[in-house]
Chain A
Amino acid sequence: DQQVKQNSPSLSVQEGRISILNCDYTNSMFDYFLWYKKYPAEGPTFLISISSIKDKNEDGRFTVFLNKSAKHLSLHIVPSQPGDSAVYFCAASEGNNDMRFGAGTRLTVKP
């Protein structure tokens, strides 16, 4: 039962352009959403999060948007840099319990 879905397994963008990664969820009880970044041979590292009481959270080049009615969130990276190339995982939890992840999207930023 995939409660968190990332339907795009990969994304390729040009350096300097915007990267948009998408995530959908099915459980309306989720109240906290996170994005993690993972490099090869390393554990995932936290990138940015958003609470369900907000619809946008920004941190430097990274912005997460939440659309609760559509059960959809997205991560925008502007401008994209080659060092952003990694696998990005979307995660959701209810009260910080039971954190569920999507399948991941591999982002490649080309110089």
Chain B
Amino acid sequence: DAGVIQSPRHEVTEMGQEVTLRCKPISGHNSLFWYRQTMMRGLELLIYFNNNVPIDDSGMPEDRFSAKMPNASFSTLKIQPSEPRDSAVYFCASTLTGTHTEAFFGQGTRLTVV
């Protein structure tokens, strides 16, 4: 397995534009997490899915953020409209729930909103 795959690796966009980040979890994993890395809060959990269903989205900062998981092998995190303060590295991770095993992370998407 190639691990968790995120795309794009880097995204530069203008303020007000829509941004879509993509994630392919490890095959067989049933939980998927979206994190945002900031200096102040470290890895901040935005939302997590279990069996494609959003379980906890309390970390989503604003209504401008939305996430979907239409099937077990794909998830998106969308920001519309984007703002400069959204600039950060966004990570996706997946794991198998209930097994007390570690979550595996993708390499992240570095988002810059200018």
Flag if A99 contacts B103 (CB, 8 Å). Answer: yes
Q: How many angstroms from the CA of A88 to the CA of B92 in the assembled complex? A: 18
Q: How many angstroms from the CA of A43 to the CA of B101 in the assembled complex? A: 17
- In the assembled complex, the CB of B38 is this many whole angstroms from the nearest CB of chain A, namely 8
B residues near A101, Cβ cutoff 8 Å? 35, 42-45
Q: Is B14 an interface residue (CB 8 A)?
A: no
Flag if A98 contacts B55 (CB, 8 Å). Answer: yes
Who on chain B is nearest to A48 by CB? B102
- In the assembled complex, the CB of A3 is this many whole angstroms from the nearest CB of chain B, namely 10
Encoded as 1 (CB less than 8 Å from any A CB) or 0, chain B from 95 to 114 comes to 11111111111111000000
Q: How many angstroms from the CA of A87 to the CA of B8 in the assembled complex? A: 23
Chain A binding surface SS class: strand
Q: How many angstroms from the CA of A109 to the CA of B46 in the assembled complex? A: 32
Q: How many angstroms from the CA of A103 to the CA of B44 in the assembled complex? A: 8
Flag if B91 contacts A44 (CB, 8 Å). Answer: yes
Chain B: interface residue count, which band? 20 to 34
Flag if B42 contacts A97 (CB, 8 Å). Answer: no
Q: How many angstroms from the CA of A8 to the CA of B96 in the assembled complex? A: 31
- In the assembled complex, the CB of A59 is this many whole angstroms from the nearest CB of chain B, namely 13
Flag if B48 contacts A98 (CB, 8 Å). Answer: yes
Who on chain A is nearest to B3 by CB? A43
- In the assembled complex, the CB of B18 is this many whole angstroms from the nearest CB of chain A, namely 24
- In the assembled complex, the CB of A17 is this many whole angstroms from the nearest CB of chain B, namely 25
Encoded as 1 (CB less than 8 Å from any A CB) or 0, chain B from 46 to 76 comes to 0010100001100000000000000000000
Q: Is A76 an interface residue (CB 8 A)?
A: no
Who on chain A is nearest to B45 by CB? A100
- In the assembled complex, the CB of B106 is this many whole angstroms from the nearest CB of chain A, namely 5
Flag if B100 contacts A43 (CB, 8 Å). Answer: no
- In the assembled complex, the CB of B109 is this many whole angstroms from the nearest CB of chain A, namely 10
Sorted nearest first, the 5 A-B pairs with minimum C-beta distance are A103-B42, A43-B105, A101-B43, A46-B102, A104-B42
8 contacts between A and B (CB under 8 A): A6-B42, A43-B4, A44-B91, A45-B105, A101-B35, A103-B40, A103-B41, A104-B42
